[in-house]
Amino acid sequence: MKPETPRFAVVGHPNKGKSSIVSTLSEDDSVQISSIPGTTVKSREFPMRVGDELLYVLIDTPGFQRARRALAWMQERETDAASRPGIVKDFVLNFQDTDEFQDECELLAPLVTGAGILYVVDGSAPYGPEYEAEMEVLRWTGRPSMALINMIGDGDFASQWQDALGQYFRIVRVFNALHEDFDKRLELLRAFGQLDERWREPLERAVRGLNSDRQRRRDRGSRYIAELLYDILTISETRKIGPLDDPEDFKESLLEKFKQSLLNREAACRDRIESLYAYHKLERDEENLELFDEDLFSEQTWLLWGLNRTQLIATGAVGGAAIGAGIDLAVGGADLMLGTVIGTLVGGASAVYSSDKLAEVKVLGLPLGGNELKAGPTKNINFPYVLLGRALHHHAVIASRTHAQRDALVIERDTDSFTLRNMTDDLRKSFEKQFVAIRRNSEDGGAESATRDLADLVRRAMVEAESAVGSTN
Amino acid sequence: MIKRCSSPFVLVFYASEAVTFQKIQTHVNTPDRSTGTLLADLVDLGPELEKDDAVALADRQRRDAQFSQSLPASLGPLDRVSAWLRHRGDDSETEGERVARGRRVITLLLALAGLLTGWVVAMALFRYDGTHPVNVMWVLAVFVGLQLITLFLFLVAALPQAASRLPGLSGLQSALVGLSPGRIGLALTRLLPAGSRHALNAFVGRSAKNRRLFGGVTRWIVLHWSQVFALMFQVGAIAGALSLVVFSDLAFGWSTTLDLGAQAVHRAASALSLPWSIPAPHAVPSLDLVESTRFFRLDPKRAGDIASASAENLTRWWPFILLSMIVYGLIPRLLTLILSARRVRSNAADAIRFFPGTDELLDRMNGNIIKTQAVEPEVQMPKPTYHTLGTVESASASAAVIDWSESGLEESAIDQLLGDTLGYSRGMLQPAGGARSLAEDQSVIDAIVTVKDGPIVVIVKAWETPMLEFLDFLRDLRRAVGERRSIVVVPTGVDNGAVAPARDEDASVWAERLETLGDPWLKFKAVAA
Ligand SMILES: Nc1nc2c(ncn2[C@@H]2O[C@H](COP(=O)(O)OP(=O)(O)OP(=O)(O)O)[C@@H](O)[C@H]2O)c(=O)[nH]1
Ligand SMILES: [Mg+2]
């Protein structure tokens, strides 16, 4: 059989989530979605391409408005069942440029030129006889079809719908336009491929492409978070002041500026991750976000997002042990154990007590008179973990969101669902080693390879978090 | 003009920069791109990407994919970025090119300074006034010993992995980078024209703000400068020494207060000469030579003896000295110069490759990405005109009722709805819409017309969408019953055949739709909670 680009028209009653399904499947947040029926007025194509290759086309359409009238027109012309698809075509040709059947023509046009049917209903509201005419019209087109039960509200009439839809459509599936996860979306695409033998191959390829794209996004997301971590461990703010200026007058504002640049860096990472997942019009709950940002330096946040006390002590011990190992080396390994023990004690203690201290402002004399104030880089043990926890949470929220969700992005400020508490000791130790190396500016092979190593760890943390979430579900 | 300058010493460091290596320790392949282009690209990339933010994503995608097609497919990522940057700019000098030029000029100045210093120092150390011979000890200390010490310091500063094992070393390293003669380079920026000076200073300033991207480049630029200086110092010294050897007569001897016997000195000299002992045996001082050329400052007679001793005997030292300077001063420096030039390049390449936005740029240029979004923008719906609906008068009346599209309300429930919501009692009850044919709907209208007065109530399911089909029906109904007759549309919820309140958002959808009809006797009342 000759390959052909599969095309699918998403059709149905107005306001049943057609555009939402299209938006979710095409990851396009430019699609207009609203609770007012008749939002979509023209068909719009969403081509799925891998490189230059077109694998399938999704078509958003306006809803039926005069299905009974259209069906009546067609029935008048019916001679036998075989004539039906031709009559639908005639209908489109006949009414294309008139006002009366504008919506019907828009939605039927792709069908008469070979598109498959994805019929969408709202399974949270009861079935009614007014759907029969439009389903009959769709049957007349003779196109392969599938019905999707979308659950918009709280009611559940899915089984009632199953029975009614079963009489018109061979395949009936439940699909939640707003909240369906990635795997379910791929499963749906695969099911589209079942509608016509010739469509299977391109849709399989599309699914493979999307799957590897998800890996790419996770890898890049990890990379972006790793860059964030590297940066917040190394950036500082400096300011030159005159020989007569009192450094104390400037310390606070410099520290503020330093904090602000940390926040900016975090926000930039959020932006990058959002556009990585094709969110361009994402509305943010600014107030919530502001609070979220403010929280970055609060002790509560640190308790929440960062490591817990025990982890901190252990982590400080890791960092300290590295210092201790250094002492060992310095004294020629004579009392190898002793060095490590001292390091562990020192590191462990400071880990707990330094959580309220982000960074110091140092005063450095300048050779030509005056001083330079320097805020940062932060020496705080917990801080990178706080950012890591928040970044992983944000990534998870974005990755599991759909493009049909149009409510403002809310990043929860207090959540138990996503923290580093469950991080394995092994992974945490690897992080700490890397953090220590970056802080000492002594990464093996320079910034780039340190960032890469860090990205691998972030990727592992993502996997750990995902499996943790998965097991609680 | 600097670029075209071709004096031999300039060639030395350009050669070092031009040598291309397989990737050793570099993560991004750095093909034969000059350091200057890489630096220029790195500096220009940020502002260009920022400028680009104003362009809509779809346009950027189209534009960059199109541009990419004009490039050879074999082009690596860095070259693609570079081509993209150059394609965007006009011919005027960019900030990045100014940085690159500034660095070049300073490299050149440092090379000159090194050459000059080396020459002057050589002139001082090889000074021979005919009384005391040139002390070989001194010459070796400066041109071999000092070079070896600074070489060691360079290696300490250059090897980051060593630092994580030794406490306090990273501090020492930064101190070393701070102390290296390359720092003079930063001071020399003062001599640059304003454009290059500002550009270069701004570039160096960025490394504090973003150590990940700029730290490595800046550090290696400074270390590279110090290698340039050190190498040219040695070149100057060798040239100075050679010129003295050729154009004047020198006498060499050795002298030390330490209790070193001639044998120890001979052993040391032989050890130093090991690398060339086979190809150039004449350049290895013999024990005889060592013994006969020792002198004591406090013993001018003996010094005078040496000076007047056979010229041949004395000048036999110089091949040894010259080779020492080359083997222990010049060659290692050449290697570290090449190493540092390469590190500048690989760090700049990494920084470009991982600059925020490079990934996305390459994605746009590289066609092999997945796109699922619409290509055309969405058509906007023109806002319809809305007309206010009439208000329901609460007079008790008998109403003709139409149950649209099988609301599922029982008759008693309909009675209750009429009473509670509108204060009406029920007259005729007619089902319409739903699966019925249009002809059946028409007969409902015909039946309603037979009732001459009283309001007409149309009950609709609030959760369903008001469709044009329903509005058609209302229009037909209006035409049939004439003006002034109240038609009241009542959206209701239904719960197991009983009346339930309509949700507010549903009610307003219905109201809004009805307002588009422009029928002043059309009324609306949703079932409230
Ligand atoms: N909670 C929830 N709401 C949904 C879901 N799908 C759609 N909606 C909402 O239902 C409303 C209509 O969605 P649209 O996608 O615009 O529906 P449509 O079928 O394209 O509508 P028209 O273009 O007007 O025909 C919007 O307010 C959506 O947010 C869903 O799965 N869950
Ligand atoms: Mg729509």
Q: Is the CB of A155 under 6 A from ligand 1?
A: no
Q: Which of A26-35, B65-74, B215-224 has the highest mean pLDDT?
A: A26-35
* B135 assigned to some structural domain: no
* B54 assigned to some structural domain: yes
Q: What is the mean pLDDT of residues B419-444?
A: 93
**A-B C-beta contacts closer than 8 Å:** 188
Could you tell me if B356 and B487 lie in one domain? Answer: no
Q: Which of A433-447, B22-36, B207-221, B411-425 has the highest mean pLDDT?
A: B411-425
By three-state DSSP, how is residue A35 classified?
coil
Chain B neighbours among A 170-189 (CB < 8 Å)? Answer: none
Helix (H) / strand (E) containing B84: helix B77-88
Any chain B CB within 8 A of the CB of A447?
yes
Query: What is the CA(A15)–ligand 2 centre distance, in A?
Result: 7
Any chain B CB within 8 A of the CB of A442?
yes
| Residues, CB-to-ion distance under 5 Å, ligand 2 | A 18-19, 39-40
Alpha-carbon span B511 to A356, nearest angstrom: 57
Lowest mean pLDDT among A208-222, A410-424, B112-126: A410-424
Closest Cα in chain A to B174: A441
pLDDT of residue B166: 55
Closest residue by Cα to residue B386 from A4, A36, A417: A36
Between A396 and A12, where is the model more confident?
A: A12
How much is the mean pLDDT over chain A? 84
Share of chain A above pLDDT 70, in %: 83
**Last residue of a domain, which of B333, B366, B399?**
B366
pLDDT in tens, A51-100: 778 999 999 999 999 999 999 999 999 999 899 999 999 999 999 988 99
Write the residue in B167, B376, B405 that is nearest to A128 by C-beta: B405
Domain count, chain B: 2
Query: What is the CA(B53)–ligand 2 centre distance, in A?
Result: 29
Closest residue by Cα to residue B12 from B110, B101, B111: B111
Q: Is the CB of A37 under 6 A from ligand 1?
A: yes
Best mutation target, A448, A452, A454, to test chain B (most B CBs within 10 A): A448
Alpha-carbon span B342 to A379, nearest angstrom: 32
Q: What is the mean pLDDT of residues B345-358?
A: 90
pLDDT in tens, B81-104: 999 998 887 778 888 999 999 999
| Chain B hits for A63, Cβ within 8 Å | 465
pLDDT in tens, B129-162: 777 778 888 888 888 888 888 888 888 777 654 4
Query: What is the CA(A41)–ligand 2 centre distance, in A?
Result: 8
* B437 assigned to some structural domain: yes
Any chain A CB within 8 A of the CB of B210?
yes
Is there a contact between A30 and B377 if contact means CB atoms under 8 Å apart? yes
pLDDT in tens, B158-216: 765 444 455 555 566 666 665 666 677 777 778 888 888 888 888 887 777 788 888 88
Is there a contact between A47 and B371 if contact means CB atoms under 8 Å apart? yes
Query: Which stretches within A331-445 are classed as H helix?
Result: 336-353, 383-400, 425-439
How crowded is residue A236: how many other Cβ atoms within 10 Å of its Cβ? 18
Residue A220: what are its φ and ψ, rounded to 5°?
Answer: -70, -40
Q: In this model, does residue A336 exceed pLDDT 70?
A: no
pLDDT of residue B213: 87
Is there a contact between B438 and A72 if contact means CB atoms under 8 Å apart? yes
pLDDT of residue B452: 85
Q: From the CA of A44, how many Å to the nearest CA of chain B?
A: 7
Q: What is the mean pLDDT of residues A436-461?
A: 83
Could you tell me if B422 and B361 lie in one domain? Answer: no
Between A205 and A343, where is the model more confident?
A: A205
Alpha-carbon span B234 to B329, nearest angstrom: 6
Alpha-carbon span A207 to A281, nearest angstrom: 25
How much is the mean pLDDT over chain B? 82
Any chain B CB within 8 A of the CB of A267?
no
**Last residue of a domain, which of B335, B366, B397?**
B366
Ligand 1 mutation target, pool A10, A18, A20, A22, most atoms within 8 A of CB = A20
pLDDT in tens, A151-187: 999 999 999 999 999 999 989 999 999 999 899 999 9
Q: Is the CB of A343 under 6 A from ligand 1?
A: no
What does DSSP assign to residue A244?
T
pLDDT of residue A354: 43
pLDDT in tens, B257-275: 777 788 888 888 888 888 8
Query: What is the CA(A26)–ligand 2 centre distance, in A?
Result: 14
Q: Is the CB of A33 under 6 A from ligand 1?
A: yes
Q: In this model, does residue A412 exceed pLDDT 90?
A: no
Determine the atom of ligand 1 nearest the C-alpha atom of A63: 25
Between B369 and A424, where is the model more confident?
A: A424
Q: Is the CB of A14 under 6 A from ligand 1?
A: yes
CA distances from A471 to A402, A426, A464, A465, A466 (A): 22, 20, 11, 10, 9
Could you tell me if B356 and B443 lie in one domain? Answer: no
Any chain B CB within 8 A of the CB of A192?
no
Confidence of residue B21 (pLDDT cuts 50, 70, 90): very low
Write out the residue range of the structural domain in which residue B14 sits.
9-96+351-366
Could you tell me if B407 and B460 lie in one domain? Answer: yes
Q: Beta strand B498-500 with A361-365: parallel, antiparallel or unpaired? A: unpaired
Lowest mean pLDDT among A104-108, A213-217, A323-327, B274-278: A323-327
Could you tell me if B482 and B357 lie in one domain? Answer: no
Alpha-carbon span A70 to A137, nearest angstrom: 8
Q: What is the mean pLDDT of residues A412-428?
A: 73
Query: What is the CA(A151)–ligand 1 centre distance, in A?
Result: 10
Q: In this model, does residue B118 exceed pLDDT 80?
A: yes
* B490 assigned to some structural domain: yes
Between B374 and A368, where is the model more confident?
A: B374
Query: What is the CA(A178)–ligand 2 centre distance, in A?
Result: 14
Query: What is the CA(A25)–ligand 1 centre distance, in A?
Result: 14
pTM exceeds 0.90, yes or no:
no
Could you tell me if B521 and B419 lie in one domain? Answer: yes
Could you tell me if B466 and B503 lie in one domain? Answer: yes
Q: What is the mean pLDDT of residues B19-42?
A: 59
Q: Is the CB of A152 under 6 A from ligand 1?
A: yes
Given a contact cutoff of 8 angstroms between Cβ atoms, the answer to whether B206 and B214 are in contact is: yes
Chain B neighbours among A 84-103 (CB < 8 Å)? Answer: 103
Residue nearest to atom 2 of ligand 1 (CA): A152
Alpha-carbon span B268 to B264, nearest angstrom: 6
Residue nearest to atom 25 of ligand 1 (CA): A14
Any chain B CB within 8 A of the CB of A451?
yes
Alpha-carbon span A274 to B506, nearest angstrom: 33
| Chain B hits for A218, Cβ within 8 Å | none
Could you tell me if B356 and B482 lie in one domain? Answer: no
Q: Is the CB of A61 under 6 A from ligand 1?
A: no
Q: Which residues contact B280 (CB under 8 A, 6 or more apart)?
A: B319, B323
| Chain B hits for A130, Cβ within 8 Å | 405-406, 433-435, 464, 467
Q: In this model, does residue B352 exceed pLDDT 60?
A: yes
Ligand 1 mutation target, pool A33, A151, A402, most atoms within 8 A of CB = A33
Lowest mean pLDDT among A241-250, A341-350, B256-265: A341-350
* B341 assigned to some structural domain: no
Best mutation target, A22, A61, A65, to test chain B (most B CBs within 10 A): A65
Is there a contact between A128 and B211 if contact means CB atoms under 8 Å apart? no
pLDDT of residue B162: 43
* B19 assigned to some structural domain: yes
* B459 assigned to some structural domain: yes
Any chain B CB within 8 A of the CB of A215?
no
- CA B323 to chain CA centroid, Å, is 46
Q: Which residues contact A426 (CB under 8 A, 6 or more apart)?
A: none
Query: What is the CA(A14)–ligand 1 centre distance, in A?
Result: 9
Structure tokens belonging to residue A376: 């940062």
Structure tokens belonging to residue A74: 């067609």
Given a contact cutoff of 8 angstroms between Cβ atoms, the answer to whether B362 and B80 are in contact is: yes
- Asked if this assembly's ipTM is beyond 0.85, the reply is no
* End-to-end CA separation in angstroms for chain B: 86
Any chain B CB within 8 A of the CB of A266?
no
Ligand 1 mutation target, pool A15, A42, A65, most atoms within 8 A of CB = A15
pLDDT of residue A319: 57
Q: What is the mean pLDDT of residues A112-135?
A: 96
What does DSSP assign to residue B419?
I
Could you tell me if B356 and B444 lie in one domain? Answer: no
Could you tell me if B360 and B440 lie in one domain? Answer: no
Closest residue by Cα to residue B507 from B493, B517, B494, B520: B493
Between B313 and A330, where is the model more confident?
A: B313
**Last residue of a domain, which of B334, B366, B398?**
B366
How crowded is residue B480: how many other Cβ atoms within 10 Å of its Cβ? 13
Please work out, in degrees rounded to the nearest 5, the angle formed at the alpha carbon of residue A444 by the alpha carbons of A438 and A446.
Answer: 70
Could you tell me if B449 and B519 lie in one domain? Answer: yes
What CATH number is given to the structural domain containing B455? 3.40.50
Any chain B CB within 8 A of the CB of A128?
yes
* B445 assigned to some structural domain: yes
Place of tokens 């998403």: A10
Q: Is the CB of A23 under 6 A from ligand 1?
A: no
Could you tell me if B362 and B418 lie in one domain? Answer: no
